[in-house]
Structure 1
Amino acid sequence: MGRNVTLATCSLNQWALDFEDNMKRILKSIEIAKSHGAKYRLGPELEICGYGCADHFYESDTLLHSFQVLAKLLESPITQDIICDVGMPIMHHNVRYNCRVLFLNKKILLIRPKMLMANQGNYREIRWFSPWNQLRKVEEYFLPRMIQEITGQETVPFGDCVLSTKDTCVGTEICAELWNPKSPHIQMGLDGVEIFTNSSASHHELRKADQRVDLIKSATTKSGGVYLYANQRGCDGDRVYYDGCAMVAVNGDIVAQGAQFCLNDVEVVTATVDLEDVRSYRGERCQPFMESQPKPCHRVKVDFSLHTSRNMYLLTNQPITWRFHTPEEEISLGPACWLWDYLRRSGQSGFLLPLSGGVDSSSTACIVHSMCVLLCQAIKDNNTQVLEDVRRIVGDDSYSPQNPRELCGLLFTTCYMASENSSKDTCNRAKDLASQIGSTHMNINIDMAVKGILGIFSALTSKWPQFRANGGSHRENLALQNVQARVRMVLAYLFAQLSLWARGKPGGLLVLGSANVDESLTGYFTKYDCSSADINPIGGISKTDLKSFLLYAVEKFQLTALKGILAAPPTAELEPLKDGQVSQTDEVDMGMTYSELSMIGRLRKISKCGPFNMFCKLVNMWKDAFSPTQVAQKVKHFFRMYAMNRHKMTTVTPSYHAENYSPDDNRFDLRPFLYNTRWTWQFRCIDKQVSQMAANDPKE
């Protein structure tokens, strides 16, 4: 006879410090899990307070309110007769830990602190938490009085322990522990633990989902077992989007899958599995290794069974094939969900975007349109929370959107900011795209404002700067470009604050930025120009990926206006036209192509290359296209531009994190912003290497 058990895991859209609604979402997930017959419910990492509390974890309030929520959960009738596994910060012996708390019927069974911390990329867990590095050690934890009064317990087990029910054994991993070469599930599996749980706050990154799925499948391929994965969903207050993907795996196969991008605040994934399948799988593969473990897991016993008579007649979940999104789909969905969370939680009434008719701002516009498509579909699927939020944002309690284009007109304002240096082509491209997505569109001429500012300068100095094309110096040319860009930023915020007021509507608009990750690498934008905004959905996405995304949007959303945008050369349009045509292009201004920049960015951040090491790698990678001398020139040019403009990263608009070579100074890329731009020692090493190569190659 099989031993069927039904287990539940979930993705929750928690919000940092939103204790009230975080608790409601936790309770709702438990209620759904019980309705599906589950006897074990797993939630995301730090779900009570929200994962992104950052330095709020230092505050005693955060610990206090987390215990207050735990008390409410313990007392709720919803949490009875099911093992609940929730996440919260806990201080033990004056040390702060990231913990899982497992409880059943008003009794805390155990507290399991995180043992291996995430401390790279977007994560700084060691700043706030200590790892529990005492393998197999369990101590007594003295519960706060408010919890003692509910549970009748004075102390509970705290440490590296597992839960032993009447019919199986459950062990915990927390997020980064799965990604570690010393993952706890390895030893737990060899010690007879049959069900592994992983509570995560894992963010979306382009082309990353397959790594997560492969790791979970691998965790149970080697030694068998059931693996439950829970994850945070949504924007909980920062630059990352947690992308769900709750799942259940058995013996190397995925048997249940949640959505990666979804507007549901609560998603519960359940699976019925046969524990005998795990035992049979291990009997053949693992028996020689399981006979003797030098340090067995500390087992906390509970008089409770995950198997019920109802489970006996349920069909078990069978293996399924995971469907991965393409990068273009990820760009369409991830930033769109992030924007929606930000909008509905910001108290604002929509977005405003300076739409130039180029690839970057058009990509941002398409992502907003994709957001409206997702909203309409969610409402069609009876998502009452989305409908409630839409009505609150548009200020109409009876409104129901009929189509994405109509909704876009209410939530999204675009404006083309023309100057004497703007071409009719870009103006028409912006107008056509705005018409197709349905945004409220404006044409604004900035010449009067620019001339007014230059007039102030001229009145004080008796000088009027000229563009290079009209005989001006480099300094004059750059200053004239920058003043146009900065005027656009001032006007964008003016219209964001007052355009709804002018239409007789309440609220303000969030200004959207549209600088891509490659331009940020070299600082190819004006500090405090129209790339300065409230948030930027494409700030972590490469130009190459954005072009692919627009090709996808042409077909997916039938936005034919994008064809002309893709065909046009990228340009800032800040210098005078020649015969009415654009004379300035981005790649010429930057001194390298976007594809070259993308490669350099990956070497700089992911491969940790300084100037010399980057040259050594690129001289081989680009040997068919460039000579060593040309490669050296490109590397030097990049690092000069990088060093000169690094200060811009200190004020860059908070951007959706999508690439692991992002130069975002505030969180992801911790490097100085004041450099010696000559790179004397480094460039001398490159020159020496070039000379040696030339001496060995007569063609060089």
Structure 2
Amino acid sequence: MDFIKVGSACPKTKVSDVLYNVENICSCIKDAYKQEVKFIVFPELSITSYTCGDLFLTSSLLNKAIDGLKIICEESRNKDMLIAVGCPLVHNNILYNCACIIFDGKLLGIVPKSYIPNYSEFYEKRWFTEAAMLVDEIISLPFQENIPFGTNLIFCAGDYKFGVEICEDLWVTIPPSSYLSLLGANIIGNLSASNELVSKKDYRVSLVANQSARCMSSYIYSSAGVHESTTDLLFSGHLIISENGSILKENDRFQRENEIITSCIDVFKLNSERLKNLSYRSSSQIVPFKSKFINFSFNNTKITNFNRYVDKHPFVPSNEHEREERCKEIFNIQSSALAKRLEHTGLKKAVIGISGGLDSTLALLVVVKTFKLLGIDNKNIIAITMPGFGTTDRTYNNALTLCNELGTDLREINIVDAALQHFKDIGHDKDIHDVTYENVQARERTQILMDLANKEGGLLIGTGDLSELALGWCTYNGDHMSMYSVNPSIPKTLVRYLVRYVAEKESNKEVSNTLLDILDTPVSPELLPKSDKGDIVQKTEDIVGPYELHDFFLYHFIKHGSSKERILTLAQVAFKDDYSKEEIEKWLDKFIYRFFTQQFKRSALPDGPKVGSISLSPRGDWRMPSDASFNSFK
């Protein structure tokens, strides 16, 4: 799956006590190895500690640091782990603040700090020299010669490409990690010693998250801990693991024992984001130096303890407050887009078919919000309910109640007689409940809506959602068509939350109760006759599969270009308590088949607003041949 487990560590330290510090670093390495970590980042100058002051200029400390570095190299043997540890080193009679990159008993390379802070409480230039443009150098140590030395080093193990920067490097206008990322690094480690001040923690988290987003990378941050504190400064041991703008893991600061946090990084996702982003490709031309790639190989990157959360509903924020804000924003996007179309066409009326189902309900709520925005009376919303062979009392009554409570111009047109006449016209037996039986009803409803929109001088509003478009679960030139669609970027899992948001936050009691009952109604096109008891027989999710699975498949297929094998593995993690592997694979096969065979419907979509990061509009995000084969994807 191209995941790799990484770690950020904060060992106990004593200022200038190299042996003590190295013992704790080695203890963390052993612990990380047990947890299957493949890349671990330690704090800045962790071998000596950060706050040694003028002791950095003594040969005793510098020589001890090299001895300590050798011990860590020995500890790394047969660990199959890349280690980034901080150490002061002299090169050409100049002292550098360095990140030493170790693998299997050997120093792969040494990265000096590019930018040295010398303001406020920082006084590093007294001891260390900046190395921003120091590239392609070689350094030798008593226990190893000819070690690559410079700020342009990238450590490569196949698709895993590691870059390193140190503390202040992150805080400058263009961090070295920006260049390293443009040169291919997708995992960045930062060895830091950031002291603690009120609110600095929040700013630090923001910096890490934003840099990982700008670089489309993972960013592993490790800062010196509380035992580093001395004189006027207090350190907290802040550990952060971020990926493309998201914080995957963060510790509780101020711990007094050795600490490691770990997370699984999705390198496939990072690389796919870069593949699609043209600006990333263009920006690679501005890097002022060439990278030096240092190749090595992990023996095994298999993860038996997969400790990364996989969201089963990637379109829906899990945080309640964030979800509420998202719902507000989506309604604003939908209503503002529809308002623009109404203003542009000069139309003062909207026509919409209301079934008592989720999608038409959401579309109606959007139209109501739009008319309020434009100051148009709801009586100009012509809501048409069109009972057919499968319409149940429950959906019918919910449609009537909702439209009456919202003050629309509600009209009822029964389609049974028209459908029976059409069966007679085309020679179809009304007792054969096949696709013709179903589509005659869908197209009859669309014909009524289109013609009424012409008659009334109104705009026909489409109601279909993103999930239905992905599966092609709509009748071509039936409910597939409208004059303007408001839900084409809203997946079914999110439709539910939008309707629930209105029910709970923006409705009177009667409307709220109706919306909640609509939410509890099985999803159905109601095109087949109802049961003897008057219940819905045709349940969509029994036919095409659970929408929560299809939305999950859609997200990972479109967002990251994931393979069937990868989607299946991720789905097994996300839905481990809900579906068996066999069930997931069955519906995934169904998704792939329908997604490819139904593209012709998406190629002829009416206009509609893009709401989220995924859209299937042929004019926007998704350009796919209608006759593409799915054989390479099944």
Q: TM-score scaled to structure 2, two decimals?
A: 0.48
Q: TM-score scaled to structure 1, two decimals?
A: 0.43
